[in-house]
Chains A and B, each alone.
Chain A
């Protein structure tokens, strides 16, 4: 049973870089899945930020591509998110998740519990 757990600062200052870690347990991050980050501003809907394969291949949401970086550490079974130049609109619950993707389909079959990040001075 795969489990995902996000961690990182709950408060980030405007213009700083948001950094989060996702610990993956119960399943190897080197498997045939894509590892995703999704966020949800308070009271609003879900926004897919991007996903990464253990080889380093990655796809980002075009609206965030200039500010987002995703990476993995296969030795520690972890994935990472960095979002630069944050503003108040980046305040959200951030989820890490496992995505089952092929050339014809992609869906998220496991989610972390999420971590709230507030951008404020």
Chain B
């Protein structure tokens, strides 16, 4: 089964930008419109922040953006704020109609 790899942790200071990567082990995992991103502050349920690689649901700040290149999807958070400190998970929809999650990345705002 394909997997999604994320860095365990990233950090940045307020106002800076950080990028979290999500790399698939096969080409069908990170492709087309299959990738979504979720934010999970401590003690809360995850929340959708990016879907179909680049789209933001209503209410999600434009500071959050998604992109994709080859087998890697990325989430960029610009103008970091203290409230952005959370765990972030990527997810991909495989050709077998299965959802995969990455291992998660802990974002620390310094």
Chain A contact residues, majority secondary structure: strand
Which residues 45-71 of A sit at the B interface, judged by CB distance below 8 A?
45-48, 51, 59, 61-63
Interface status of B48 (Cβ within 8 A of chain A): yes
Contact of B45 among A36, A59, A95 (CB under 8 A): A95
Name which of B9-17, B68-76, B92-100 contacts chain A.
Answer: B92-100
Write out the residue numbers on chain A whose beta carbons fall within 8 Å of the beta carbon of B101. Answer: 38, 45-48
Indicate if the CB atoms of A105 and B46 lie closer than 8 Å. no
Interface status of B64 (Cβ within 8 A of chain A): no
Residue of B nearest to A113 (CB): B45
Indicate if the CB atoms of A106 and B1 lie closer than 8 Å. no
Indicate if the CB atoms of B89 and A46 lie closer than 8 Å. yes
Residue of A nearest to B46 (CB): A111
Q: A36-B99, A109-B51 are in contact. Are A114 and B45 (CB under 8 A)?
A: yes
Interface status of A88 (Cβ within 8 A of chain B): no
Indicate if the CB atoms of B45 and A46 lie closer than 8 Å. no
Instruction: Report the Cα distance A34→B58, complex, angstroms.
Output: 21
Indicate if the CB atoms of A104 and B32 lie closer than 8 Å. yes
Contact of B33 among A38, A104, A111 (CB under 8 A): A104
Residue of A nearest to B53 (CB): A105
Write 16 A-B pairs (CB below 8 A) sorted by A numbering. Answer: A36-B99, A59-B98, A95-B46, A99-B99, A100-B51, A104-B32, A105-B32, A105-B52, A105-B93, A106-B97, A107-B36, A108-B36, A108-B46, A108-B48, A111-B46, A114-B45
Point out residues on A near B: beta carbons under 8 Å: 36, 38, 45-48, 51, 59, 61-63, 95, 99-101, 104-114
Point out residues on B near A: beta carbons under 8 Å: 1, 32-34, 36, 38, 45-48, 51-52, 57, 89, 91, 93, 97-104
